[in-house]
Amino acid sequence: MPKKQSSSNSKANSSSPNNESFNRLIISELIKNPDQYFSGSTLAKTLKTSRVTIWNHLSSLKKDGFAFEAIKNKGYRLLKSPLTLHPTLLSAHLLNLDVKESLFFFNELDSTQNEAERLLSHHQLTPFAVVAKKQTQGRGRRGRTWVSAFHNNLYISFAFEPNLSPHTLQTFSLWIGLNICHLLNSLFNIPIKIKWPNDLVLQGKKVAGFLAEARIDADHTRDLILGIGLNINGSTTTFPKDLQPKATTLETFTGKPLDMNLITAHLIQTTLQAYRDFMHSKTSHFKSLWTEYDHLKDQPITVYRNEEKIHGAAKGVDPNGNLILQLPNGTFKHFNTAEVTLSQPT
């Protein structure tokens, strides 16, 4: 099993477990109000320690790209934090967002999907999430490779034991995609759309993909691993040549790098909340969200299924998450699996 670097609700760094959770608490206080000074004595009292110990802990984080200011009679302030994924910072954000589920954080994995599967086979309590800064065997839908270089992108898998009928899994995966799309639009103001069967698209280019892998027993889902790859920072010039015209990153739109820890923490919170809502049938706004974010809405599209190429207009999805295509003769066809392209650029 690859070495785990940290997990959000368990002892973190194997050499110094207390340091890790201590740093998490300090950082969680400092990021709540980054512009304000946090009183050293309050912090010391809250954490039942001395101010010197706090400063020593803060100093130990400098090598990771954190910078702090300490002013006498005022307190501490966070001046800078790493934008790339950092286990302590990510788990501090999760603490502030009240996310209690386990997060397993790795510098490198074969695939977060594989690791989630290994954890399930060791009876890890679900739901949980696995994050890696780099994957050596990242995979996409239809047996494709998911390019997973170090640093700028998010590779995450969620494991669930949803006790759902297998025919609802397509809708479930779309529901999670829709909620993440809404999060990026509403909280980060990035105009992302969803493209059936489950890509997130920014300015017409793919920015994220979802991979759902389930184990089914008869008519019941034993477990489901939902993997998400989201291109956050950097430019697409680092992508393989064939991907460059089709893919994009959030930074390409915002013009400046984003805080991957903040985005990832919100994505985890949103996904777990969307999972709970789905399990409690609180999905009445599925249709309105789909209408709002549907990249293909009413567009002329081509559907590729097996050797077939079918033209028509996209008309949303049915309650089972199937794509509805209106054929030129006015009739409708529903697709469960297929690849889709816009017939002409919009």
Binding mask 72-111 for ligand BTN (x = CB under 6 A): ---------------------------------------x
Q: What is the 3-state secondary structure (H, E, C) of 115-130?
A: HHHHHHHCCCCCCEEE
Subset of residues 230 to 249 that bind ligand BTN, contact rule: CB under 6 A: none
Least distance to ligand BTN from the beta carbon of 246, Å? 11
Paired tokens of 167: 């025919």
144 forms part of the interface with ligand BTN (CB under 6 A)? yes
Residue 138 or 321 with smaller CB distance to ligand BTN: 138
Paired tokens of 62: 């400098």
If one counts every other C-beta atom within 10 angstroms of the C-beta of residue 230, the result is 22
User: For residues 178 and 194, is the Cβ–Cβ distance under 8 A?
Assistant: yes
Residue 8 or 21 with smaller CB distance to ligand BTN: 8
Residue 131 or 301 with smaller CB distance to ligand BTN: 131
| Strand order, beta sheet including 323-326 | 332-335, 323-326, 308-317, 300-305, 339-342
Subset of residues 251 to 310 that bind ligand BTN, contact rule: CB under 6 A: none
- From the list 5, 21, 23, 157, which residue makes contact with ligand BTN (rule: CB under 6 A)? 157
- From the list 139, 195, 295, 315, which residue makes contact with ligand BTN (rule: CB under 6 A)? 139
Least distance to ligand BTN from the beta carbon of 73, Å? 47
Q: Which residue is nearest to ligand BTN (CB)?
A: 209
Q: Report the distance separating Cα 334 and Cα 227, nearest Å.
A: 25
Q: Which DSSP string corresponds to 49-61? A: S-HHHHHHHHHHT
Q: Report the distance separating Cα 237 and Cα 252, nearest Å.
A: 11
Q: Which stretch binds ligand BTN (CB under 6 A): 94-102, 176-184, 204-212, 284-292?
A: 204-212
113 forms part of the interface with ligand BTN (CB under 6 A)? yes
227 forms part of the interface with ligand BTN (CB under 6 A)? yes
The H helix count followed by the E strand count for the chain is 9, 15
**Interface with ligand BTN: number of residues (CB under 6 A):** 20
Distances (CA, A) of 311 to 273, 308, 332, 344: 37, 10, 12, 11
135 forms part of the interface with ligand BTN (CB under 6 A)? yes
Of 79, 74, 78, 67, the closest CA to residue 39 belongs to 74
The owner of tokens 């201590």 is 22
Least distance to ligand BTN from the beta carbon of 201, Å? 11
158 forms part of the interface with ligand BTN (CB under 6 A)? no
Q: Which stretch binds ligand BTN (CB under 6 A): 41-49, 71-79, 154-162, 174-182?
A: 154-162
If one counts every other C-beta atom within 10 angstroms of the C-beta of residue 324, the result is 16
- From the list 141, 297, 305, 333, which residue makes contact with ligand BTN (rule: CB under 6 A)? 141
210 forms part of the interface with ligand BTN (CB under 6 A)? yes
Q: Which stretch binds ligand BTN (CB under 6 A): 11-19, 96-104, 131-139, 161-169?
A: 131-139
Q: Report the distance separating Cα 250 and Cα 107, nearest Å.
A: 22
Which positions lie near ligand BTN, rule CB under 6 A?
111-113, 135, 138-141, 144, 146, 155-157, 199, 209-211, 227-229
